[in-house]
Structure 1
């Protein structure tokens, strides 16, 4: 009986947690390298301490006369060697970090809204989930996330991914799942009294199973279709449509474009620029236009903003 238990424990033991996304392997490699580096330095320091304690102990025959006051080569070595190692680690980690914020164009978009104390998710075709995220194996997935109330943090340990989700801002995170199964989803930022209950799961499915699951949901407008309905309902089309008589910027294909502003700056129209243009229209006024657009703060929810942004992204896909 004990042999079976020991075998079960050894079979279930992993030095690191399971790796279930393309981001996990580079993170584990960097972590392992740091552990080896720090462990090697610690062992070397301990070995030197023991050596000097024994070599220069009281009563030993070690020569102590005429110690050298300067060893230029040693000073240069212990300055440049750690510097080169630290620069290498910085470049390595920066490369892996930047990859997390360069999603491939074919990534499946998912809108995520965090609120006390749940995760609300919506797929491109409109299917909604709460505290669950179904994704296809081997397909990049792009999460556009915003918070309704407090600061939250989207954390999937098996993916080695964690991204803060902030009120008043849209943050993005992408990943490609590499293993089938269910994986824990946590909020890793204390967000109130029920923070510990803000948990969920990510379900990785085969692509054909995911397609069936996505199509089996309740019939409802896609995220972009809902955004287009809001675009008309809020009166945005009256000013920003191609045939409008009002002098306002055209929005078709705007996401990702470079925008020149009245104050001489030029910025890229990312998701946060689009969000600010809806809620804080006087913040970044486009060059050649007057700041006459009203604010929609308090009139639209975080889900509405995500839908409007999805619609604007869809206009670029059809160009």
Structure 2
């Protein structure tokens, strides 16, 4: 009886929370190293405090004057901890930068947060609310924005937390390493029903995920819907290849360097596309007049994400002639 209880306790005991992604593994390793280093430093300080408190207590017969300088000792206790904490900083910075360098084979998932739910859409057009299905061992790229207040996409088991800010896109990527269901929270107070803004991430085998993704999906893909909106909004009248209007070409736009009228240059990303649709006079392309009207109030966040997916689909393979 006691043996079974001890076995269950040992099986349930975890020094750290459940880890279910490559991000979590890296974060846990860094956290453990930092915990050990800080613990060793704290222990050393405590031992030194106790030692000096006992040795130099009142009434003890010890020399208290003519303290000699030990340059090597001073340099040692200053530079060695400094070097160790610089290593920790570099380690953490490398992990942070890696989190935002999306692998080229990552599956895109578009996320819109609103009071008080998570709306998610996959590349083939399949939609989810408060659920995210992903395959095991496959990188997944989340492109996220908010429709109203600031929200925060938080999956503790993945060690992922990213704020979603109205008016801009944020993103990150992860690779799930464990099958199962994992809790999804909003970690930023967003109104009266904030505590009810819950969801789950379901990690499936790749075969099961492919069947789930293709089941009951009779709607167009996200890029196809984006192309339809591209034509409905009249974008093709100016930006199509055969248009007589002098407007920038959009094929393969995302990831391309764009030179602006004010002399600046930037790499076109999702935020640039969003601003070009809603605030067309913000970043005017060099050689073009600022005559494009704003589509603010005419397109939803889902429409903008579909347009972005369409523009991504126009990218040509490396080395292909333009």
Structure 1-normalised TM-score?
A: 0.97
Equivalent position SS for 2:272 = helix
Distance 2:178 2:227 in 1: 36
1:33 maps to what in 2?
A: 33
Structure 1 residue aligned with 2:144? 145
Show the counterpart of 2:231: 232
Shift of 1:71: 3.4
**1:16 matched residue in structure 2:** 16
**Residues 276-291 of structure 1 mapped to structure 2, 5 A cutoff:** 276-291=275-290
Task: Tell me by how many angstroms 1:63 deviates.
Answer: 2.0
Question: Which segments of 5 or more consecutive residues in structure 1 lack a partner in the other structure?
Answer: none
Q: Distance in 2 between matches of 1:61 and 1:254?
A: 79
Structure 1 residue 107: Cα displacement: 0.6
**Distance between the aligned counterparts of 2:81 and 2:43, measured in 1?**
16
1:38-77 alignment runs, 5 A limit: 38-68=38-68, 70-77=69-76
Give 1:81 shift: 2.3
Q: Which residue of 2 aligns with 1:135?
A: 134
Deviation at 1:218, TM superposition (A): 3.3
- In structure 2, runs of 5+ residues without a counterpart are none
If the length of structure 2 is used for normalisation, what is the TM-score?
0.96
SS in 2 for 1:45: helix
* Secondary structure in 2 matching 1:23: helix
Distance in 2 between residues matched to 1:130 and 1:280, nearest whole Å: 29
Per-residue deviation, residues 17-42 of structure 1 (Å, max 9, x unmatched) = 12111111110111001111111111
SS in structure 2 of the partner of residue 284 of structure 1: coil
Give me the whole-angstrom Cα distance separating, in 2, the residues matched to 1:243 and 1:250. Answer: 10
Matching of residues 257-296 of structure 1 within 5 Å:
257-296=256-295
Give the CA deviation at 1:2.
Answer: 4.7
Per-residue Cα deviation, 1:71-104 (whole angstroms, up to 9, x for no partner): 3333333332233223211111111111110111
- In the alignment, structure 1 residue 221 sits paired with structure 2 residue 230: no
Structure 2 CA distance for aligned equivalents of residues 6 and 87 of structure 1: 41
Q: How far apart, CA to CA, are the structure 2 residues paired with 1:72 and 1:264?
A: 54
Q: Secondary structure at the match of 1:209?
A: helix
Does 2:186 align with 1:183?
Answer: no
**How many aligned positions are there?**
318
1:129-174 Cα offsets, whole Å, 9 max, x none, are 0000001111111111010001111111111111111100001111
The Cα shift of 1:317 comes to 5.0
Structure 1 residue 93 and structure 2 residue 111: aligned? no
> 1:7–1:174: structure 2 CA closer, same or farther, 3 Å change rule?
same
Q: Quick one: structure 1 residues 24 and 317, their matched pair in 2 at CA, closer, same or farther if it must change by over 3 Å?
A: farther
CA distance in 1, matches of 2:65, 2:265: 69
CA distance in 2 between partners of 1:15 and 1:78 (Å):
30
Distance 1:65 1:173, change over 3 A: closer
Cα root mean square deviation, aligned: 1.3
Q: Secondary structure at the match of 1:11?
A: helix
The alpha-carbon deviation at position 54 of structure 1 amounts to: 1.1
Answering whether residue 236 of structure 2 is matched by residue 250 of structure 1, we say no
